[in-house]
């Protein structure tokens, strides 16, 4: 296996089972086990999103710090995903899959039992770290288990679909558990799911691992992960003490030094965590940049609409979860339409159109009021945002692999998921800072009696910034994505999920 790949075997490139002519007779059972683990990870995101207001209130988390419920997870997941793929390949995919399940369940138990914000944030970071080894291990198990191209396509089709369906299930479960049990059960439920998957995986899933050089780029992992964490922490400090405060400026400076150091290091290593040739290609680079900026902009809707529903409209967690269902349903349906349209219109047209729709949805939400109608105001924005995201994410898997060499296909696929997580982390931190700053300024100008109106003002300002970010991602798409003669890549050379919308983690 080449040193320049991180998830090569996890996505099909470089994965060679011992006997490709003899399909595993338990392959469909193995897929069921992997899907159960994937469902757990997807559920965790949407369940936690619904439970956030209750957890914040129970643990007395202030508005400036609440974003760490999301970003602690996404930072760890995105920052360690590339390394996690290498660990799964080298140590053994089944072994790491089992370790990931146990670790994810243990971290969920820790989070469910959290007595303060530090304990919850730490548990969420642990969940992200174990998720970063669990996700690529699950993908690689599917790839090496399904040796037939048609079977593999079916398997990954189901794998992609479970993300959309799981998100909808998570919204309902989050509402039910938070309202009728306790927000803590939104984390405890992972223990049950992980235990079932663990018990089933032992007799069903076969072990496999890559041979050859097994060196890891630990310095690159540390520089990138700590650098991104410092950047997010800088936004948090800015929300508390102002953009020009010593804490914020020091954090931003540390982030700049570490991230520049990461790029310099990766250009010098023979086995880098991220081969820079992967991102310098115009279409691939444009795709990753689009993914980061779009991820930063779109998560504002999930974060602030949840607080609007529960905090301003005083809806129950269950009603909040139900309110998101049209979004999930529309995303699944429109993604299918987008897959059929992609060969006809091409990625640039579809992604640009989708970006404009998503920008329009966020601009629409800037008109939110205390008594806005769900059917007349919020639902249209949800449907518009779902359409926009579907039209962007369906082609994004393909453009992020434009012209990529066979031995770089794995890392190119992994970078796309990583950029979504990192973009989401930065976006939540930035938008939460914008929100708290806007609310504080409004209350200072109008008095504490206008706190409710101040929150609405904060939402609208945050949505405005979100619209700007999504609009910027659309501009990047329009200017950088081009048709390429190598845009059509053989299935066995790329991530088998490239034709499906990438999973969006909102928790």
Q: Residue 407: pLDDT above 80? A: no
Q: What is the pLDDT of residues 80-111, one digit of tens each?
A: 877 887 787 778 889 999 999 999 999 999 99
In this prediction, residue 443 has a pLDDT band, given cuts at 50, 70 and 90, of very high
Mean pLDDT of the chain: 81
Q: Domain limits of the chain?
A: 8-217+269-493, 218-268
Q: What is the C-alpha R_g of the chain?
A: 22
How much is the average pLDDT of 452-467?
95
At 456 the pLDDT is 96
At 7 the pLDDT is 37
* C-alpha to C-alpha distance for 293 and 143, rounded to whole angstroms: 30
* C-alpha to C-alpha distance for 394 and 336, rounded to whole angstroms: 9
Backbone phi, psi, residue 5, to 5°: -115, 145
At 19 the pLDDT is 44
| Runs of H (alpha helix) within 400-450 | 409-446
Token digits of residue 249: 């400026």
Q: What is the pLDDT of residues 118-172, one digit of tens each?
A: 999 999 999 989 988 888 888 778 777 877 767 776 776 677 667 667 777 888 8
Token digits of residue 196: 């079932």
* C-alpha to C-alpha distance for 400 and 432, rounded to whole angstroms: 29
In this prediction, residue 413 has a pLDDT band, given cuts at 50, 70 and 90, of low
* C-alpha to C-alpha distance for 134 and 102, rounded to whole angstroms: 10
Q: Residue 14: pLDDT above 70? A: no
Token digits of residue 485: 């003669």
* C-alpha to C-alpha distance for 118 and 126, rounded to whole angstroms: 12
At 372 the pLDDT is 94
Least confident of 129-133, 363-367, 392-396, 447-451: 392-396
Instruction: Give me the count of residues in the chain.
Output: 507
* Residue found under tokens 């209130």: 57
Cα distances (Å, whole numbers) of residue 377 to 266, 311, 373, 384, 471 = 47, 18, 5, 11, 21
Q: What is the pTM of this model?
A: 0.76
Element (H, E) at 237: helix 218-241
Token digits of residue 470: 């999504």
At 380 the pLDDT is 96
Least confident of 5-19, 34-48, 260-274: 5-19
Identify whether the C-beta of residue 48 lies closer than 8 Å to the C-beta of residue 69.
yes
How much is the average pLDDT of 337-344?
84
How much is the average pLDDT of 214-238?
80
* C-alpha to C-alpha distance for 99 and 184, rounded to whole angstroms: 23
Which one-letter DSSP state was computed for residue 491?
G
Which of 173, 39, 15, 51 has its CA nearest to residue 101?
A: 39
At 13 the pLDDT is 39
At 278 the pLDDT is 74
* C-alpha to C-alpha distance for 401 and 407, rounded to whole angstroms: 12
Q: Residue 317: pLDDT above 60? A: yes
Cα distances (Å, whole numbers) of residue 402 to 102, 279, 370, 449, 483 = 37, 11, 46, 55, 9
Token digits of residue 217: 């780029």
Cα distances (Å, whole numbers) of residue 159 to 155, 320, 477, 496, 502 = 6, 27, 27, 10, 11
8-217+269-493 folds as: Growth Hormone; Chain: A; (1.20.1250)
* Residue found under tokens 């956030």: 52
């Amino acid at each position: 296996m080449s040193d320049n790949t991180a998830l090569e075997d996890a996505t099909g490139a470089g994965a060679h089972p011992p006997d490709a002519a003899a399909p595993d007779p338990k392959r469909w059972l193995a897929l069921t086990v992997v899907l159960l683990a994937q469902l757990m990870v997807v559920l965790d995101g949407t369940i936690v999103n619904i439970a956030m207001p209750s957890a914040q209130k129970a643990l007395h988390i202030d508005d400036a710090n609440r974003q760490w419920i999301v970003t602690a997870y996404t930072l760890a997941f995105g920052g360690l995903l590339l390394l996690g793929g290498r660990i799964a390949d080298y140590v053994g995919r089944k072994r790491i899959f089992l370790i990931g399940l146990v670790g994810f369940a243990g971290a969920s138990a820790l989070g469910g039992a959290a007595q303060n914000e530090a304990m919850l944030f730490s548990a969420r970071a642990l969940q992200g770290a174990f998720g970063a080894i669990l996700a690529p291990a699950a993908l690689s198990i599917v790839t090496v288990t399904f040796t037939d191209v048609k079977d593999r396509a079916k398997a990954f089709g189901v794998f992609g679909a479970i993300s959309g369906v799981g998100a909808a299930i998570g919204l309902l479960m989050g509402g039910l558990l938070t309202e009728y049990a306790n927000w803590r059960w939104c984390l405890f439920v992972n223990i049950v799911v992980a235990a079932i998957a663990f018990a089933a995986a032992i007799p069903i899933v076969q072990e496999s691992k890559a041979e050859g050089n097994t060196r890891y780029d630990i310095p690159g992992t540390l520089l990138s992960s700590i650098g991104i964490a410092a950047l997010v922490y800088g936004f948090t400090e800015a929300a508390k003490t102002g953009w020009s405060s010593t804490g914020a400026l020091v954090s931003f400076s540390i982030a700049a030094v570490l991230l520049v150091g990461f790029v310099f290091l990766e250009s010098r290593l023979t086995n880098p965590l991220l081969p820079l040739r992967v991102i310098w290609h115009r279409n691939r680079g444009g795709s990753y940049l689009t993914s980061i900026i779009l991820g930063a902009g779109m998560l504002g809707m999930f974060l602030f609409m949840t607080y609007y529903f529960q905090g301003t409209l005083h809806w129950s967690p269950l009603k909040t979860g139900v309110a998101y269902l049209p979004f999930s349903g529309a995303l699944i349906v429109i993604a299918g339409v987008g897959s059929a349209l992609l060969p006809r219109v091409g990625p640039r047209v579809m992604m640009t159109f989708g970006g404009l729709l998503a920008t329009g949805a966020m601009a629409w939400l800037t008109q939110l009021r205390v008594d806005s109608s769900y059917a007349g105001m919020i639902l249209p924005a949800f449907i518009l945002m779902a359409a926009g995201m579907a039209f962007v994410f369906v082609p994004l898997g393909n453009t992020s692999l434009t012209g990529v060499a066979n031995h770089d296909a794995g890392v190119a696929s992994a970078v796309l998921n990583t950029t979504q997580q990192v973009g989401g982390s930065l976006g939540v931190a930035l938008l939460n800072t914008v929100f708290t700053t806007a609310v504080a300024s409004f209350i200072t100008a109008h008095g504490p009696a206008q706190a409710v109106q101040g929150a609405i003002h904060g939402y609208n300002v945050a949505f405005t910034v979100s619209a700007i970010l999504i609009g910027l991602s659309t501009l990047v798409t329009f200017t950088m994505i081009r048709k390429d003669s190598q845009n059509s890549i053989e299935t066995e050379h790329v991530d088998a999920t490239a034709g499906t919308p990438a999973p969006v983690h909102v928790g």
